[in-house]
Amino acid sequence: MQNSEIIKTENLDKIYPLGLTTLKALDKITLSVSKGEFVGLVGPSGSGKTTLLNIIGSLDSPTSGSAEVLGQKIESLSHKQAAQLRNKYIGFIFQTFNLLPVYTVYENVEFPLLLLGMNNTQRRKLIMHALAWVGLADRADSKPAQLSGGQSQRVAIARAIVKKPEIILADEPTANLDAENSHHIMKTMVQLNAELKTTFVFATHDEKVITYIRRKITLIDGRIEMDERKP
Amino acid sequence: MLILKLALRNLLGAGLRTWLNVIALSFSFVAIIFMQGLYTGMNDQVEQATIKALYGGGQIWQKAYDPYDPLTLPDAHDIIPEYLKILIDKNQATPILIRQATIYPQGRFRSILLKGIDPQQNILSIPSPMLKGDQEIIPALVGSRMAKSIGVQPGDQITVQWRDTHGTFDARDVTIVEVMKTTVQEIDNDQIWIPLDRLQTLLAMPGQATLIVLKDNVQAPQHLAGWEFKSLEYLFEDIHAVVRSKRIGGSTLYIVLLSLALLAIFDTQVLSIFRRRKEMGTLMALGMTRTAIIKLFTTEGALHGILAALIASIYGIPLLTYIARIGWKLPEATDTIGYALGEKLFPVYSTGLVVGTTLLVLLATTIVSFLPTRKIARLKPTDALRGKMS
């Protein structure tokens, strides 16, 4: 594992207006993640895991404090710059898979590469490689509606890894899967992390996922309660 | 190019929803072009028939003549000037003398126009050669509407009474030699046509006429003392006004049809935003910019219009061409409303009409697609991913 910091936050606050009051989702979060780490943000529902993940993924911006991802300050990025950061360097995996329903598996995985402007030959090679990685090369022409939950999540993983991003952010990736599929998905991600040195950050409260992660950051009420590394 | 590719992929991927919209929109294309073609055809048909039967290449009126004021008729005659006689001799013009007269069908009094026309003329499509010959009788032509109205047929005699140039009442029996079928009611209703020279003699107006009809493409003389040249533009002013008002009336249906189609597109786009906001969040997470998403959804809407134009051309071109060839049968009552239309109306589809309608529909479709899509610009990625509208 390298020591270069790829994600760094300092005194990160996120406050949401809630009617006449406010809700502090993140409270003075300071952490750093190095390249190639396999990190889990764990904690109960409402502890701020997804909010932190969204800020790291430049989908949201902090109320105060700073978040730096790959040397870019999230709070000062324009919409366009944030989109470019996500497009080039970040892959997302969602709890509900978020596959594009009218596209085939192949087209879903192709989408990030189209945005990167790759030519057809390059795209085809990378897509088939990614699908082979997740064991779905034979389902390239299927539509998401024809896939099981586990298969759909594997397509989402293929879509996230196809462009070989620096960081993959996974929000409750196993929440909608049974135990067998959850383990399969996690093993796939461990393997990816080992082979591609991609940094993984999970938001999860699934015990099955927690057994795979090598660094566990526990969040309670928007604060870091514990930051443990497995030996 | 990427946006177009993705929009097309989304559109085709949406399957039935897309095709329903496209087919509905294609109906609008075809209906709008057909309806506008009918009005253009009506205009052309009325113009052509009226030119052939009545206006020729324009008319020169004796200055007192006003077709809408029968009180002008006693004074609306004059000796045909020499320069017009030259045109008449060269068969480039034909004179018509008009006088108010009275007939008594079934013992009833009825005011008519007695018109004299040269039996040799071939400028107007009136069957004037039927008036040649027999000096024993006064041969007369009437239109089929007039014949039906007064209950006459060829061979029947009618007593016609008039006042000559001195104001003296006179009367003669005229013999119907032909009942002419014409779509132009201005040469039919309440009119009896007899040979010009006979009418000039009966009215004591030798060498006189009320108006001169010019042959097509004959230049009107420059100096017309006592006479006035009336161009086709002037003569068709009323007909054009009527067609214009009909076209505006027809536009209501045009607007309703177009609005329905656009509403379908608008509805689809609005529904898309609500149904697909999670999808938009995903697109944002994958790195698509807001501008690109707006472009994508607007292009999707605009492609509806393009696909509709293609579909419309597949069935619309043969259908509209077929109707233009066989004509659109008009109801019986059309004959009574004053248009020279005949039994069938032949639509005319100009390039301008087709291109204009296509561009209008495409522009309108793009606008109604863009309007709801603008809302996406305000959507926060995190809200979109949660399926919320911010």
pLDDT band at residue B333 using 50, 70 and 90 as cut-offs: low
Report, as an integer, the average pLDDT of B165-173: 89
Lowest mean pLDDT among A16-25, A93-102, B244-253, B362-371: B244-253
Report, as an integer, the average pLDDT of B368-384: 78
Beta strands in chain A (DSSP E): 5-18, 21-34, 38-42, 64-69, 72-73, 90-93, 167-171, 199-204, 215-220, 223-229
Interface touch B6/A159, C-beta < 8 Å:
no
pLDDT of residue A185: 82
Report, as an integer, the average pLDDT of B134-156: 89
pLDDT of residue B217: 85
Task: Indicate if the pLDDT at residue B338 is higher than 70.
Answer: no
pLDDT higher for B31 or A122? A122
Report, as an integer, the average pLDDT of A204-209: 85
Query: What's this model's pTM, rounded to 2 decimal places?
Result: 0.70
Residue A10 resides in a domain? no
- Chain B residues touching A111 at Cβ < 8 A: 286
User: Cβ distance A32 to A5 under 8 Å?
Assistant: yes
Nearest to B28 by CA among B300, B346, B308: B308
pLDDT higher for B356 or B154? B154
User: Cβ distance B105 to B150 under 8 Å?
Assistant: yes
Q: CA A89 to CA B276: how far, in whole Å?
A: 25
Q: CA B192 to CA B113: how far, in whole Å?
A: 6
Interface touch A59/B385, C-beta < 8 Å:
yes
What share of chain B has pLDDT > 90, as a percent? 37
pLDDT band at residue A2 using 50, 70 and 90 as cut-offs: very low
Residue A29 resides in a domain? no
pLDDT of residue A110: 96
Lowest mean pLDDT among A7-11, B36-40, B374-378: B374-378
pLDDT of residue A1: 41
Residue A164 resides in a domain? yes
pLDDT of residue B337: 60
- Segment B81-127, tens digit of pLDDT: 988 899 999 999 999 999 999 999 888 899 999 999 999 999 999 99
| Nearest residue of chain B to residue A116 (CA atoms) | B287
Report, as an integer, the average pLDDT of B214-233: 87
SS3 B344: strand
User: Cβ distance B165 to B205 under 8 Å?
Assistant: yes
Task: Indicate if the pLDDT at residue A124 is higher than 90.
Answer: yes
| Nearest residue of chain B to residue A85 (CA atoms) | B287
Report, as an integer, the average pLDDT of A1-16: 85
Q: From the CB of residue B322, how many other CB atoms can be counted at a distance below 10 Å?
A: 9
Domain that holds residue A53: 35-63+77-229
φ and ψ at residue A152, rounded to 5 degrees: -60, -40
- Segment B33-92, tens digit of pLDDT: 888 888 888 878 888 888 889 999 999 999 999 998 988 999 999 999 988 899 999 999
Tell me how close the Cα of B294 comes to any Cα of chain A, in angstroms: 13
Q: Which of A86, A100, A103 sits opposite B287 (nearest CB)?
A: A86
Give the CATH number for residue A43: 3.40.50.300
B285 lies within 8 A of chain A by CB: yes
- Chain B residues touching A87 at Cβ < 8 A: 286-288
- Segment A146-159, tens digit of pLDDT: 999 889 999 999 99
Nearest to A185 by CA among A167, A160, A165: A160
pLDDT higher for B76 or B133? B76
- Segment B243-280, tens digit of pLDDT: 778 777 767 777 787 787 777 767 766 776 677 788 88
Residue A117 resides in a domain? yes
Report, as an integer, the average pLDDT of A33-45: 93
Query: Mean pLDDT over all residues of chain A?
Result: 91
- Sign of the Cα torsion B225, B231, B236, B240 reads negative
A159 lies within 8 A of chain B by CB: yes
pLDDT of residue B335: 63
Residue A6 resides in a domain? no
Q: CA A50 to CA A40: how far, in whole Å?
A: 11
Q: How many domains does chain A have?
A: 1
Q: CA B101 to CA B191: how far, in whole Å?
A: 9
pLDDT higher for B138 or A209? B138
Lowest mean pLDDT among A163-172, B44-53, B157-166: B44-53
Tell me how close the Cα of B364 comes to any Cα of chain A, in angstroms: 26
Residue A166 resides in a domain? yes
Report, as an integer, the average pLDDT of A1-13: 83
User: Cβ distance A33 to A7 under 8 Å?
Assistant: yes
Residue A26 resides in a domain? no
Residue A223 resides in a domain? yes
Task: Indicate if the pLDDT at residue A97 is higher than 60.
Answer: yes
User: Cβ distance A201 to A53 under 8 Å?
Assistant: yes
